[in-house]
């Protein structure tokens, strides 16, 4: 069936018939979906809020922004997921990757759309150039067009996942040292809030991601937010089991009235033991990972050195016997 359609398109539209048909189909789908994407439903509550808001508030907001509004705000209804669960999941993933801006979700989806369409256009141009110089099959033309678009579409998601993993590893590595420093500050007479600020300032050079999290906790507490809520938000924002256990320990210590210094001492010792166990685990996994490299790069040269002369001698002897030599 595909060969019949390909032959028909070549007969009707020439050698570029299949590519032209694919392009026309893509343009048609975009034209069909564009009105639905651009249609914005009326929000009655937002209209009432805008009518009740005085003009000075809007002008003050504009001045605070420096006269530049968010350029992606008018496209937010199709750059952001419409379901609250999907929007919350994407925002949480971007927070864990280190993108706390309000418009991070819009920028993320805009990057996916722009890179996807741009890579699709580049693939289409490459397919046209290839078909103009040499004969290219329909399957190859489709692959040249769709594969770059798929790569460009999923590239931002790969980048965010990589950033999130790197940031979480950095927080895990610096968390035991931060707990030790916090324990020293609390035992020296500082409050928990002061110790968090001190830890944020001191760990900035080595672990900036962890310093950002503690600094955000300090700012939220200063703004008047309840400490338990702030710590739980930090646990959800980071997404690391060690931090979640640390938050649970502090919340239980504040609930039952036990000493925070004693809780920090026990938990910091536990974190140091975990760090040692993680190091031992990596050390024990190293021989297994080196086995493949050893087999690939050590055994073949060794076999050539040991068996090579014998094989060469046997081959030479067989050659002389075949030619009737001595």
147 inside domain: yes
Task: Please state, in angstroms and rounded to a whole number, the distance separating the CA atoms of residues 95 and 89.
Answer: 10
**Residue 58: exposed, middle, or buried by beta-carbon count in 10 A (0-12, 13-18, 19+)?**
exposed
Specify the pLDDT at position 252: 84
Lookup: tokens for 66: 């420096």
C-alpha span between 209 and 1 (Å, rounded): 56
Alpha-carbon distances of 15 from 59, 120, 326, rounded to whole Å: 59, 21, 66
One domain, residues 23 and 134 = yes
Instruction: Note whether 223 and 128 are same-domain residues.
Output: no
**Residues in the chain, overall count:** 326
pLDDT at 63: 40
Q: Which residues of 109-131 are buried (b: 16+ CB within 10 A; e: fewer)?
A: bbbbbebbeebbeebbeebbeeb
Tokens describing residue 8: 């028909």
Q: Are both 21 and 162 inside the same structural domain?
A: yes
Max CA pair span of the chain: 111
Assess whether 161 and 172 both reside in one domain.
Answer: no
Q: Is residue 171 part of a domain?
A: yes
> Could you tell me if residue 116 is inside a domain?
yes
**Residue 143: inside a domain, yes or no?**
yes
Q: Are residues 87 and 211 in the same domain?
A: no
d(CA 80, CA 75): 8
Give the pLDDT score at 57.
Answer: 41
Q: Rounded to the nearest 5 degrees, what angle is found at the Cα of 89, between the Cα atoms of 42 and 225? A: 90
CA end-to-end span of the chain: 68
Do 18 and 121 share a domain, yes or no? Answer: yes
Predicted confidence at residue 226, as pLDDT, reads 85
The pLDDT assigned to 51 comes to 60
Q: How many domains does the chain have?
A: 2
Write 158-164 long-range contacts (CB < 8 A, 24+): 160/93, 160/94, 160/97, 160/99, 160/108, 161/97, 163/97, 163/98, 164/93, 164/96, 164/97, 164/98
Handedness of CA 163, 167, 168, 170 (dihedral sign): positive
Q: For residue 41, which of 76, 70, 77, 72 has the smallest C-alpha distance? A: 77
Q: Same domain for 132 and 188?
A: no
The alpha carbon of 206 is separated from its chain's Cα centroid by a whole number of angstroms, namely: 22
Helix (H, G, I), strand (E, B) or coil at 248: helix
For residue 223, the tally of other CB atoms under 10 A from its CB is 8
How high is the pLDDT of residue 75?
Answer: 52
Task: Answer yes or no: are the C-beta atoms of 166 and 46 closer than 8 Å.
Answer: no
User: Considering the domain boundaries, does residue 311 fall inside one?
Assistant: no
* Residue pLDDT tens, the chain, 326 long: 667 777 776 676 666 677 777 777 777 777 666 565 555 555 555 555 666 555 444 444 444 444 333 555 555 555 566 677 777 888 888 888 888 887 788 888 888 888 888 888 888 888 878 777 777 777 777 788 888 888 988 998 999 999 999 998 888 888 888 888 888 888 888 888 888 889 888 888 888 888 888 888 888 888 888 888 888 888 888 888 888 888 888 888 878 877 888 888 888 888 888 888 888 888 888 888 888 777 888 888 888 888 888 888 888 888 777 665 55
Instruction: Indicate whether 114 and 172 sit together in one domain.
Output: no
Are 88 and 122 contained in the same domain? yes
How far apart CA 214 and CA 236 sit, in angstroms, is 14
pTM: 0.64
Q: Which of 256, 303, 6 is nearest to 131 (CA)?
A: 6
Tokens of 56: 């000075």
Owning domain of residue 98: 12-32+72-166
Pinpoint the alpha helices (H) of 97-137: 104-133
């Amino acid at each position: 069936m595909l060969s019949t359609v390909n032959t028909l398109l070549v007969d009707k539209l020439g050698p570029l018939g299949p590519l032209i048909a694919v392009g026309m189909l893509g343009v048609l789908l975009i034209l069909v979906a564009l009105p639905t994407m651009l249609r914005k439903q009326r929000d009655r509550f937002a209209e009432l809020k805008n009518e009740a808001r005085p003009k000075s508030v809007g002008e003050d907001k504009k001045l605070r922004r420096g006269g530049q509004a968010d350029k992606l705000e008018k496209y937010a209804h199709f750059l952001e997921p419409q379901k609250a669960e999907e929007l919350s999941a994407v925002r949480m993933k971007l927070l864990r990757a280190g993108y706390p801006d309000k418009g991070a979700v819009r920028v993320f989806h805009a990057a996916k759309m722009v890179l996807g369409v741009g890579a699709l256009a580049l693939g289409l141009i490459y397919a046209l150039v290839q078909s103009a110089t040499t004969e290219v099959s329909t399957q190859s033309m489709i692959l040249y067009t769709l594969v770059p678009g798929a790569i460009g579409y999923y590239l931002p998601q790969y980048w965010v996942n990589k950033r999130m993993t790197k940031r979480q590893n950095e927080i895990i590595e610096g968390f035991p040292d931060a707990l030790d420093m916090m324990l020293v500050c609390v035992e020296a007479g500082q409050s928990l809030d002061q110790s968090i600020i001190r830890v944020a300032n001191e760990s900035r050079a080595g672990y900036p991601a962890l310093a950002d999290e503690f600094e955000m906790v300090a700012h939220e507490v200063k703004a008047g937010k309840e400490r338990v809520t702030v710590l739980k938000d930090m646990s959800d924002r980071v997404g690391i089991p060690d931090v979640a256990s640390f938050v649970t320990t502090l919340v239980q210590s504040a609930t039952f009235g036990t000493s925070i210094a004693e809780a920090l001492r026990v938990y910091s010792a536990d974190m140091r033991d975990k760090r040692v166990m993680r190091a031992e685990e990596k050390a024990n996994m190293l021989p297994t990972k080196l086995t493949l490299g050893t087999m690939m790069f050590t055994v073949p040269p060794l076999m050539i050195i040991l068996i090579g002369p014998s094989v060469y001698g046997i081959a030479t002897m067989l050659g002389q016997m075949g030619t009737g030599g001595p």
